């Protein structure tokens, strides 16, 4: 009888979460901002959007998992629940982690737009700011006590409530 062994290759210092999602582990600040965004969108725009976190999208070349996505409101399909969505959300939201550069964040956007996403937000906690992109190369910058205004999505959110 032959002994079969399996070689497991691990990247030093990376968690299973980071390996699967190609992004850093979230922190308390990251999680609180994510929750605050979800609440603000749900409260201000009831029945308009299906808000979800950690949905893997079939973007090129390897897929991606934004922190939040918004789809049009609708019933959940419990029978057809793919692990990778082939239908683009309306909006993706990425929250920058301390180990990510601004370039890292911006590099994520082009595949989203080519996938069919209409608007992308990059949240920069350290600056208490949100960059709203309507294409891979054009953005509006909102920070401090401003109101985020996404003209494509027709969404307005009070930054003070996001960073509370």
Question: How confident is the model over 25-57, as pLDDT tens digits?
Answer: 768 999 999 999 999 999 999 999 999 999 999
Burial of 134 (0-12, 13-18, 19+ CB in 10 A): middle
Asked whether residue 8 is domain-assigned, the answer is no
Asked whether residue 87 is domain-assigned, the answer is yes
- Per-residue pLDDT tens digits for 131-161: 999 999 999 999 999 999 999 999 999 999 9
Residue 17 clears pLDDT 90, i.e. is over it: no
Domain of residue 116, residue span:
23-162
Asked whether residue 10 is domain-assigned, the answer is no
Q: How far is CA 76 from CA 1, 81, 90, in A?
A: 50, 9, 16
The domain total for the chain is 1
Residue 12 clears pLDDT 70, i.e. is over it: no
β-strands 49-53, 68-72 pairing: antiparallel
pTM for this entry = 0.85
Residue-level pLDDT at 9: 47
Asked whether residue 99 is domain-assigned, the answer is yes
Asked whether residue 120 is domain-assigned, the answer is yes
Asked whether residue 4 is domain-assigned, the answer is no
**Helical spans, DSSP H, in 54-152:** 102-107, 109-115
Which CATH number is 52's domain given?
3.90.1570.10
Cα–Cα distance measured from residue 117 to residue 71, given in angstroms and rounded to the nearest whole number: 10
Of all helices (H) and strands (E), which one includes residue 131? Answer: strand 129-135
Cα–Cα distance measured from residue 151 to residue 148, given in angstroms and rounded to the nearest whole number: 10
Cα–Cα distance measured from residue 56 to residue 77, given in angstroms and rounded to the nearest whole number: 16
What does the mean pLDDT of the chain come to?
89
């Amino acid at each position: 009888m032959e002994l079969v062994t399996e070689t497991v290759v691990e990247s030093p210092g990376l968690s299973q979460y980071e390996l699967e999602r190609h992004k850093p582990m979230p922190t308390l600040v990251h999680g609180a901002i994510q929750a605050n965004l979800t609440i603000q969108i749900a409260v201000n725009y009831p029945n308009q959007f299906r808000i979800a976190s950690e949905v893997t999208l079939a973007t090129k070349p390897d897929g991606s998992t934004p922190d939040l996505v918004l789809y049009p409101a609708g019933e959940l399909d419990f029978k057809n629940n793919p692990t990778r969505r082939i239908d683009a959300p309306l909006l993706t939201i990425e929250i920058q982690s301390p180990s990510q550069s601004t370039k890292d964040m911006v590099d994520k956007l082009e595949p989203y737009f080519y996938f069919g996403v209409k608007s992308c937000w990059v949240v920069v906690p350290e600056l208490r700011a949100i960059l709203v992109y309507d294409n891979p190369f054009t953005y509006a910058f909102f920070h401090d006590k401003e109101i985020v205004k996404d003209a494509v999505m027709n969404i307005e959110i009070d930054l003070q409530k996001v960073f509370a």
